[in-house]
Amino acid sequence: MQVTITNLSLAYGGFAAVKGLDLTIGDGESIVLLGQSGCGKTSTMRCIAGLEEPTGGRISIGDTVVFDHETGRSVPSFRRNVGMVFQSYAVWPHKTVVENVMFPLRMKKVRRTAAREKAMEVLTLVGLDHLAERGASQLSGGQMQRVALARSMAMEPSVLLLDEPLSNLDARLREDLRVELRHIQQERGLTSMYVTHDQQEALALADRIAIMQGGRITQLGTPEEVYASPASASIAKFMGVTNVFAVGEASGNEVHLADHALSLRTAVAAPDGAASVAVRPEDVVVRTEGSDGFAGTVEVCVYQGSSVRYQVALDGGPTVDAVCPAGPGALARGERASVEIAPESLLVLPDEVTDTPAQDEVAA
Amino acid sequence: MTTVQTRPAAPQEAPLPAPSGRRRRRRPKGLGSLPLLFVVSFLILVPAGFVLLAAFSVDIPRPGSINFDLTLQHLAVFIEPGVLRATVNSLIIGVSATLLALLIGGFLAFATARTNIPMRGFVFLIGLMPLFLPSYVGALAWSQLGSPVAGLLNIGMRDLGIDFTVNIYSMFGVVLVMGMFYAPYAFLLMHSSMSLMNPDLEDAAGVHGGSTWQMLRSVTFPLAMPAILGSALLVFTHIFENFPVSQVLATPGQIDTLPTFIYRLMNASPSRGNEAAVMAVVLVIVVLLVTLGQRRILARRSYTTVSGKGLKARRISLGRWRWPLFAIALVYLLLAIVLPLAALILTAVRTSPYMQSFSDLAVPGAIDFGSFGRVLQSDLFLDSAGNSVIVAVVSAAAGTLLAFLVGYTVYRTKAKARGALEGVSMVPLAIPAIVLGMGLLWTWLVMPVPLYGTLAVLMIAFVAVQMPQGLRGIASSIQSTERDLEDNAVLHGARRSRAVLSITVPLMRVGIASTFLMLLMLSMRELTVPLFLYTSDTHILSITIFDQFENGGALQQAAAMSVIYCLIMFVLSYLPRRLGSGGMNP
Q: Domains in chain B, start-ordered, CATH in brackets?
A: 83-304+324-348 (1.10.3720.10), 364-586 (1.10.3720.10)
Name which of A51, A84, A94 is nearest B303 (Cβ-Cβ). Answer: A94
Strand partners, B159: none
Which residues in chain B are closer than 8 Å to A152, comparing Cβ atoms?
207-208
B310 touching A, CB under 8 A?
Answer: no
CB-CB under 8 Å, A92 with B219: yes
Burial of B346 (0-12, 13-18, 19+ CB in 10 A): middle
Q: Which long-range contacts (CB under 8 A, 24 or more apart) does A14-20 make?
A: A16/A215, A17/A43, A17/A215, A18/A43, A18/A44, A18/A47, A18/A54, A18/A215, A18/A216, A19/A214, A19/A215, A19/A216, A20/A56, A20/A57, A20/A216
pLDDT tens digits for range A68-100: 999 989 888 888 889 899 888 888 888 889 999
Fold of A233-349: OB fold (Dihydrolipoamide Acetyltransferase, E2P) (2.40.50)
CB-CB under 8 Å, B303 with A137: yes
Question: Is the separation of the CB atoms in A180 and A32 below 8 Å?
Answer: no
Name which of B206, B225, B301 is nearest A77 (Cβ-Cβ). Answer: B206
Q: Which of residues 141-180 of A touch B (CB under 8 A)?
A: 148, 151-152, 155
Q: Which of residues 254-313 of A touch B (CB under 8 A)?
A: none
Which residues in chain B are closer than 8 Å to A91, comparing Cβ atoms?
204
Strand partners, A3: A25, A61
Which residues in chain A are closer than 8 Å to B303, comparing Cβ atoms?
93-94, 137
Q: How far is residue B196's CA from residue B215's CA, in Å, rounded to a whole number?
A: 17
Q: Which CATH superfamily is domain A3-230+356-362 in?
A: P-loop containing nucleotide triphosphate hydrolases (3.40.50.300)
Q: Which of residues 280-309 of B touch A (CB under 8 A)?
A: 301, 303, 305, 307-309
**CA–CA min distance A103, chain B (Å):** 7
Which residues in chain B are closer than 8 Å to A93, comparing Cβ atoms?
201, 223, 303, 305
Name which of B204, B218, B219 is nearest A86 (Cβ-Cβ). Answer: B204
**CA–CA min distance A56, chain B (Å):** 21
Name which of B200, B208, B301 is nearest A103 (Cβ-Cβ). Answer: B208
Low-confidence residues in chain B, pLDDT < 70 = 1-32, 61-70, 297-313, 552-553, 575-586
By C-alpha distance, the chain B residue nearest A136 is B303
- The helix/strand/coil state of B494 is coil
**CA–CA min distance A109, chain B (Å):** 10
CB-CB under 8 Å, A82 with B209: no
**CA–CA min distance A246, chain B (Å):** 36
CB-CB under 8 Å, A107 with B214: yes
CB-CB under 8 Å, A103 with B207: no
By C-alpha distance, the chain A residue nearest B204 is A90
pLDDT-derived band at A272, boundaries 50, 70, 90 = low
**CA–CA min distance A144, chain B (Å):** 13
pLDDT-derived band at A352, boundaries 50, 70, 90 = confident
Name which of A51, A89, A107 is nearest B208 (Cβ-Cβ). Answer: A107
User: For position A363, what pLDDT does the model report?
Assistant: 37
Q: How far is residue B416's CA from residue B400's CA, in Å, rounded to a whole number?
A: 23
CB-CB under 8 Å, A155 with B204: no
Which residues in chain B are closer than 8 Å to A74, comparing Cβ atoms?
none
- Number of A/B CB contacts below 8 angstroms equals 83
**CA–CA min distance B198, chain A (Å):** 8
**CA–CA min distance B501, chain A (Å):** 40
By C-alpha distance, the chain B residue nearest A102 is B208
Distances (CA, A) of A251 to A317, B160, B412: 19, 99, 71
Q: How far is residue B562's CA from residue B139's CA, in Å, rounded to a whole number?
A: 12
Which residues in chain A are closer than 8 Å to B308, comparing Cβ atoms?
88
Strands of the A336-341 sheet, one edge to the other: A284-288, A336-341, A294-303, A307-314, A319-325
Q: How far is residue B458's CA from residue B540's CA, in Å, rounded to a whole number?
A: 10
User: For position B309, what pLDDT does the model report?
Assistant: 42
Measured in degrees and rounded to the nearest 5, phi and psi for residue B581 equal: 60, 5
Maximal C-alpha separation, chain B: 90
Q: How far is residue B19's CA from residue A305's CA, in Å, rounded to a whole number?
A: 39
pLDDT at A208 over 80: yes
Q: Which of residues 218-237 of B touch A (CB under 8 A)?
A: 218-219, 222-223, 225
Torsion sign over Cα A78, A80, A81, A84: negative
User: For position B301, what pLDDT does the model report?
Assistant: 52
Listed residue (A9, A121, A144, A15) closest to A70, CA to CA = A9
Name which of A90, A93, A155 is nearest B209 (Cβ-Cβ). Answer: A155
Share of residues in chain A with pLDDT > 70 (%): 96
pLDDT tens digits for range A156-197: 889 999 998 888 788 888 888 888 889 888 988 899 999 999
User: For position B9, what pLDDT does the model report?
Assistant: 38
Name which of B208, B211, B222 is nearest A151 (Cβ-Cβ). Answer: B208
User: For position B22, what pLDDT does the model report?
Assistant: 42
Question: Is the separation of the CB atoms in B465 and B434 below 8 Å?
Answer: no
**CA–CA min distance B231, chain A (Å):** 19
User: Across all residues in chain A, what is the average pLDDT?
Assistant: 86
Q: Do domains A3-230+356-362 and A233-349 have the same CATH topology?
A: no
Indicate the range of A246-260, A284-298, B156-170, B572-586 predicted with least confidence: B572-586
Interface test with B, best of A48, A107, A138, A167 (most B CBs within 10 A): A107
CB-CB under 8 Å, A152 with B206: no
CB-CB under 8 Å, A94 with B301: yes
Q: How far is residue B99's CA from residue B175's CA, in Å, rounded to a whole number?
A: 10
Which residues make Cβ contacts (< 8 Å) with residue B500, sequence separation at least 6?
Answer: B408, B486
User: For position A30, what pLDDT does the model report?
Assistant: 93
Interface test with A, best of B193, B197, B207 (most A CBs within 10 A): B207
Pairing relationship of beta strands A159-163 and A192-196 according to DSSP bridges: parallel
Question: Is the separation of the CB atoms in A108 and B209 below 8 Å?
Answer: yes
By C-alpha distance, the chain A residue nearest B225 is A94
Torsion sign over Cα B101, B104, B107, B113: negative
Which residues in chain B are closer than 8 Å to A76, comparing Cβ atoms?
206, 211
**For chain A, what are the domain ranges?**
3-230+356-362, 233-349
Residues in chain A: 364
CB-CB under 8 Å, A94 with B225: yes
By C-alpha distance, the chain B residue nearest A37 is B309
Q: Which of residues 163-202 of B touch A (CB under 8 A)?
A: 198, 200-201
CB-CB under 8 Å, B301 with A88: no
User: For position A159, what pLDDT does the model report?
Assistant: 92
A49 touching B, CB under 8 A?
Answer: yes
A21 touching B, CB under 8 A?
Answer: no
Burial of A108 (0-12, 13-18, 19+ CB in 10 A): middle
Name which of A87, A137, A155 is nearest B208 (Cβ-Cβ). Answer: A155
Which residues in chain A are closer than 8 Å to B201, comparing Cβ atoms?
90, 92-93
Q: How far is residue B9's CA from residue A360's CA, in Å, rounded to a whole number?
A: 78
